[in-house]
Structure 1
Amino acid sequence: MALRNAVLAALLEGEASGYDLSKGFDASVANFWMATPQQLYKELERMESQGLIEARVVQQERRPNKRLYSLTEAGRQALVEFTTASPKPTAIRDELLVKVQAVDEGDSEAVRTAVAERLEWARAKLARYDRLRARLLAGRTEEEYFAEAERVGPYLTLMRGRAFEKENVRWAERTLSVLEQRSTLPA
């Protein structure tokens, strides 16, 4: 999937500056798509030149002017074309898993440290997703949200991100337990 499609999907929420999109990626699409601010700004320029988005300049006092981006009809059509194409299966490409695969031949303490770091990172992301979930639901049940919300896509992708991080926590805890048990075995 191209960054372009993630940006188009993010702009469904409405007009946004590059800074807003960058910060919004952390809260809305970071559970399934990552991008650095530099990648995002480069993509915004490319998309504007392709006519998928348009920008308007907002004059600001005491701050640099900012550009607010919005979808064009061509951008909406590109998003429709993307959503109708068959998705490619995803594959896990994770350096940590390569280290765990090689733990028996390597520095098991370094691998345990890396897994523990991943565990804390997953717990922090899960907590962030839980806060976002509470904000989206705003006291409603999921069923009420699905019946009343204008857009359900952001919540559905959030559910997937939460499930992913929950599994990361479960896996890391189990992996640390196994590695700890193995470290106490006689050589």
Structure 2
Amino acid sequence: MALRHAVLAALVEGEASGYDLAKTFDASIANFWMATPQQLYRELAQMEADGLLAGRVVEQERRPNKRLFALTEAGWAALRAFGAERPKPGTVRDELMVKVAAMDEVGPDVVREFVEERAQWARAKLDRYERLRARLLDGRTEDDHLRHAERVGPYLALLRGISFEEENLNWCRRVLAVVDTRAAATDHP
């Protein structure tokens, strides 16, 4: 998958500025596709040059003008073509997992600190995801939203992000419990 596919999917809701897309990426898409704002802006310019997006300038008083992007027919076609391709199996590349695997050599206190940071990060993401969930539901029940909303894809992707971060928290708790148990065993032989 290329960054452009994630951008195409993010623009299904309608036109957005690069800033809006960066916020969208941070709130939801970042769970499964990371991109810096610089990468995002470069990709938007390239996608516009490739005819996948149409950009327009919106003049603003007291603020710099902003550029909004929307999918073109070619962009919609590219998104449909990407959506029809069989996805490749996902892989996890996580530096923390390597550090945990080397914990016995690195030291449990160092790993503890990193795992606690990961748990804090997961909690913060869950908080953002829950705010996004409430905004998407807009007072409706989940069942009502899933049955009657015009688009359910963003909500289903959000549910995956929520379950991913919940599992991260469960794993962090388990690692910390093991570290504590082992530390207690060595303190009191």
What is the one-letter code of the residue matched to 1:113?
E
**Separation of aligned partners in 1, 2:102 and 2:159:** 32
For residue 28 of structure 1, report the CA deviation from its aligned partner: 3.3
The residue type equivalent to 2:56 in the other structure is R
Residue 103 (structure 1) shift: 0.4
Give the superposition deviation at 1:105: 1.1
Give the 3-state SS of the residue equivalent to 1:64 in structure 2: coil
Identity %: 64
Equivalent residue letter for 2:20: D
Q: Mark the runs of 5 or more structure 1 residues left unpaired by the alignment.
A: none
1:63 Cα shift? 2.3
Kindly state the Cα deviation for residue 26 of structure 1 after the two structures are TM-superposed: 1.9
- AA of the residue aligned to 1:49: A
Higher relative helix content = 2
TM-score using structure 2 length: 0.95
CA distance in structure 2 between the aligned counterparts of 1:119 and 1:93, rounded to whole angstroms: 18
- Equivalent in the alignment of 2:18: 18
Give unpaired runs (5+ residues) of structure 2: none
Quick check: 58-67 or 80-89, which moved more?
58-67
Structure 1, 123-132 or 37-46: larger mean CA deviation: 123-132
Is residue 22–residue 40 contact of structure 2 (8 Å, CA) maintained in 1?
yes
RMSD across aligned positions (CA): 1.2
State the 1:178 CA deviation. Answer: 0.1
List per-residue Cα deviations over 1:86-143 (Å, max 9, x = no partner): 1000111110000000101112211100000001111111111112112211222221
Q: Classify the secondary structure of the residue corresponding to 1:80.
A: helix
After TM superposition, the score normalised by the length of structure 1 is 0.96
Measure the CA separation in 2 of the matches of 1:139 and 1:66.
31
Cα deviations by residue, 1:119-174 (Å, 9 ceiling, x for unpaired): 11111111111121122112222210012211100000000000000100000001
- How many residue pairs are counted as aligned between the two chains? 187
Which residue in the other structure is 2:150 paired with? 150
* Equivalent residues of 1:31, 1:157 under 8 A apart: no
Equivalent-residue separation in structure 1 for 2:98 and 2:30 (angstroms): 23
The answer to whether the 8 A contact 2:53-2:69 is kept is: yes
Q: Which residue of 1 aligns with 2:57?
A: 57
